[in-house]
Each structure stands twice: as C-alpha cells, then as structure tokens.
Amino acid sequence: MTLRSLVATLALLVLAASPAHAAGTGSACHVPEAGHEGKVDIITPHITNGDHVEIPYWKFPFFLECTLPKWQPIHVGPLEIDLSPTKHVVMLWIGAALLFLVMLLVRRAHARAVTRGGVPTGGANAIEAMILYIRNEVILPNVGHHGEGFVPYLLTAFFMILTLNLLGLVPFGSTATGNISVTATLAILTFLTVEIAGIRANGVGYLNTIFYWNNELPAPMRPLMFLIMSPVEMIGKLTKPFALAIRLFANMTAGHIVVLALMGLIFEFGNLISGAPLVMATLIMVLELFVAFLQAFIFTLLSSVFIGQIREAHH
Amino acid sequence: MSNNPRPSSDSDPSSIGAAAKYAGLGFQLVGSILLFLYAGRWVDRRIGTEPLFLLLGVFTGLAASIYSMYRSLMADQRREAERQGGGTR
C-alpha cells in the first residue's frame, strides 16, 4: 500500500519534472554526430563529469546524447554557485531512487516472510545476508559499546556507495563515486559522524583528541610539546577522511581508465591481435565488479573503525 | 566488560579493522612534514634566516608525526592488553 503510493509519487515527480526540464534552457536529446577522423579521446569523457547524459536508443549508434538543463547560479555572499544538474548528479538521483525502491521491496518481502513464519527468499534474502554481515561482523565489533546507533548511517553509506559503483559498470552509466566531490562529501559526512561520536562519548575529554597537553612531562616542556604536537594531532584527524575520499575516488577512476585503455588497444591494434585486449578488458571488468563491492566495504569498515577509535580515546 | 560486542571468534573483519586504524598514517606523516616545512619557510622569510627554520621544520614535523604514531600504537597496545584482562598477549 505504502509502496504503491510511493511509486506513484515518484512517477508523478518524474512526469512533472520532465516538461519543466524541457522548458529550461536547451534540454534536448539528439543522435550524436558520427565520423570522427583521427584520434578520439574516449577515456576523458567517460571518467569526468559533464552536462550530457547518454540514454539508450533503438537505432545506431544506440544512444542519444541529452543535454542537461542549465540553471541560474545562486549567490551566497560573494560566491556564485552553479547548482545545475550534471551527469554524476543524475547518476546520484538514479542510484538513490533505485536503492529506495530495492530496499522498500526487501523490507516488504521480509515483513511478509516474517508474518508467514519463514525467511525471505531470493534477492531479499541476499540483501538481508549482506546487511547482517556488515552489521554484525564489521560495524558492531569495530564501533564498540552501543554501536547500534551508528548502524543506519554506515549501512546507508555502504549501500549507496555500492549502488553508485555498480551503476558505473552498466552500459550508459557513469561512476558518481569516480568524482572527487562525491567521495569528499561522503568522507565529510563520516568525519562529522566521527567527531560528533567523539564529543558524545568523551565530553570535555574530546579536547584531548585535538590538543596535546601531557602532565607527565616536565613543566617547561609542556607548552613546547603542545605547540608541536597539536598541529600533528589535527592533521591526523583531517587526513583520515582525506584518505577515505582519495581511496574511493582513485580506485573507481583507475579501474575505469584501465578498462577503457584496454578497449582502446583493440582499435589501435586492428584485427590482428584484438582478441588479447578484449579478453583482458573482460577480466578487468570482472575485477571491477569485485572492486565495487570491496571499496564500499572498505569505506564502511574504515568509518566504523574511526568511530570506534575516537569513542575509546579517553581510556 | 560483560556485554562485549566483539564476536567470540577472532573472525577476519576484526583483524582487518585492527590494521585499518593505520590506513591514514602515511598521509599524516606527509601532512605534518609539509605543515612544519611551510611554517619554517614562512619564519625564514620573515626574519631572513634561510634555510635554517625550513630544515628545522622538516625534521620537527617528521619527529612529531613519528612520536604521534608511537603514542597511538602504545595506546592501542595498552587497550588490547586491558581487553584481554592483562593476560597473555
């Protein structure tokens, strides 16, 4: 019942949005012009953000290029911020909608199975297995006492990153997690979660994780060590989310570059030995499938480790 | 610690988690060296003692981040010993 109304709402939103988009400045789909001579860069357009999306088309070349609408930039003080949707923003929307739908279906299947007194089957069971594994083996052991409160955020981060990684592997898709802004936003969310968890767990003792004041040192050494060590502690605090953002971004981007470069070799070599790059590209693609899961897992694992670390900092 | 949420078996993810704490240490090392390097260069340019404070800054940053690393390792070791009741390591 709820699900049906939600789907209807989503459909209405999409319908309502599309004429609005068309009314904006130049949002149109067209068949891309063919016949480039000489060298063509196939890698850069695939891994960078842009104001175009590709949608499937039933005639050659089997895709349409759609220009996304351009919105008026908004002004925040002296800053001019362009909030127009881009390719990766569209992938974020698609990922969020997909995840929302899948999780609602899983929840419904689960509720139905529980009232019947059994367990859900098929996809719902698979998602449940993943949720339980992440919750019981990754989040709870690393976060520590009463870690249940962090499970919703960390599971959401896991499934969102996983969905975005996988959307980058389907045809016509693009990897939103291969955009440093997206991974930086995710890392900032983790950073805020970690710091707020630290403040809540340690109270005033939280200041010890930023400033270094060691009473065991001789008195004249204390201010000197305070001046030297406090910046190092702060840098340590900031480099953790920085490493999180870079790790996810670099892994997703690097995999796509490897696959695209191998595909490029097919055209470079011609018919003679094009089979070899094809096999390698296929195998790297399978590896990418694994990396999509692995990087989502690593992000969740590291986030929960950082939360656990700051929560037991006062011991 | 009666309600220790750690699973009874030493399953793989928790040991990955123990190692994962140190995943950002390299960035911390680089970051603190760079911070003290630029601070030293700034001081040098202010009072014209190039390259004294720049060099001092590099070594201070290196020493400070290694000391910070050492402290976090020692704290983890102490916690681990506490968790296992001060028994065998």
DSSP character for B4? -
Q: B55 is written with which tokens?
A: 């060099």
Three-class SS state of B59 = helix
Residue A48 touches chain B, beta carbons under 8 Å: no
What mean pLDDT comes out for the span A196-202?
A: 91
Query: How many CA atoms does the CB half-sphere of A51 hold within 13 Å?
Result: 12
Q: Determine the residue type at B67.
A: Y
Is pLDDT at A23 greater than 50 in this prediction?
no
How many angstroms separate the CA atoms of A99 and A97, rounded? 5
**Mean pLDDT of the residues in chain A:** 85
For residue A184, give every residue at least 6 positions away whose Cβ sits within 8 Å of its Cβ, in sequence order, or none.
Answer: A245
- What are the pLDDT digits (tens) for B26-64? 888 999 999 999 999 999 999 988 889 999 999 999 999
Residues of B in contact with A144 (CB under 8 A): 5
The residue that leads in pLDDT, A122 or B10, is A122
Contact state of A238 with B36 under an 8 Å Cβ cutoff: no
ipTM computed for the complex: 0.75
Is pLDDT at A167 greater than 90 in this prediction?
yes
Residues of B in contact with A238 (CB under 8 A): 31
Neighbours of A213 (CB within 10 A): 13
What mean pLDDT comes out for the span B10-37?
A: 76
Residues of A in contact with B3 (CB under 8 A): 145
Q: How confident is the model at residue B9 (pLDDT cuts 50, 70, 90)?
A: very low
- Sign, CA dihedral B55-B56-B60-B61, equals negative
* Cα R_g (chain A), whole angstroms: 24
Is pLDDT at B7 greater than 50 in this prediction?
no
Measure in Å the smallest separation between the Cα of A137 and chain B Cα atoms: 6
Q: Which of A137-141, B6-10, B15-19 has the highest mean pLDDT?
A: A137-141
pLDDT of residue A21: 45
The residue that leads in pLDDT, A7 or A95, is A95
227-256 in A: which are within 8 Å (CB) of B? 228-229, 231-233, 235-236, 238-240, 242-244, 247
How many angstroms separate the CA atoms of A258 and A43, rounded? 9
Contact state of A236 with B20 under an 8 Å Cβ cutoff: no
DSSP character for B87? S
pLDDT of residue A314: 61
Is pLDDT at A54 greater than 70 in this prediction?
yes
| Least confident range of A6-15, A49-58, A147-156 | A6-15
Is pLDDT at B11 greater than 50 in this prediction?
no
Nearest to A235 among B3, B7, B28 (CB): B28
Q: What kind and span of H or E run contains B55?
A: helix B52-83
Measure in Å the smallest separation between the Cα of A149 and chain B Cα atoms: 13
pLDDT of residue A3: 57
What mean pLDDT comes out for the span A160-186?
A: 93
Measure in Å the smallest separation between the Cα of A244 and chain B Cα atoms: 8
pLDDT of residue A7: 58
For residue A245, give every residue at least 6 positions away whose Cβ sits within 8 Å of its Cβ, in sequence order, or none.
Answer: A180, A183, A184, A186, A187
- What are the pLDDT digits (tens) for A298-314? 999 999 999 988 888 76
| Least confident range of A287-291, A298-302, B22-26, B83-87 | B83-87
DSSP character for B2? T
Cβ atoms of A123 and A98 within 8 Å: the answer is no
Residue B82 touches chain A, beta carbons under 8 Å: yes
- What are the pLDDT digits (tens) for A225-283? 888 889 998 998 899 999 999 999 999 999 999 999 988 888 877 777 777 888 888 99
Percent of chain A with pLDDT over 70: 89
Measure in Å the smallest separation between the Cα of B20 and chain A Cα atoms: 6
What mean pLDDT comes out for the span A160-187?
A: 93
Q: B53 is written with which tokens?
A: 């404070």
Cβ atoms of A32 and A42 within 8 Å: the answer is no
Residues of A in contact with B16 (CB under 8 A): 301
Q: What are the distances in angstroms from CA A255 to CA A200, A242, A306?
A: 39, 20, 26
pLDDT of residue B2: 41
Residues of A in contact with B57 (CB under 8 A): none
Q: How confident is the model at residue B3 (pLDDT cuts 50, 70, 90)?
A: very low
Three-class SS state of B9 = coil
Is pLDDT at A1 greater than 70 in this prediction?
no
- Sign, CA dihedral A31-A48-A69-A11, equals positive
| Least confident range of A60-69, A233-242, B2-11, B51-60 | B2-11
DSSP character for B8? S
Q: A202 is written with which tokens?
A: 């340690």
Is pLDDT at B14 greater than 70 in this prediction?
no
For A148, which residue in chain B has the nearest alpha carbon?
A: B5
What mean pLDDT comes out for the span A284-295?
A: 94
Contact state of A229 with B64 under an 8 Å Cβ cutoff: yes
Task: Judge residue A233's burial from the number of C-beta atoms within 10 Å of its C-beta, 0-12 exposed, 13-18 middle, 19 or more buried.
Answer: buried
How many angstroms separate the CA atoms of B36 and A235, rounded? 11
Contact state of A309 with B21 under an 8 Å Cβ cutoff: yes
Number of A:B CB contacts under 8 A?
A: 83
User: Best of A232, A242, A306 to disrupt the B interface by mutation (most B CBs within 10 Å)?
Assistant: A232
Is pLDDT at A104 greater than 90 in this prediction?
yes
Cβ atoms of A61 and A31 within 8 Å: the answer is yes
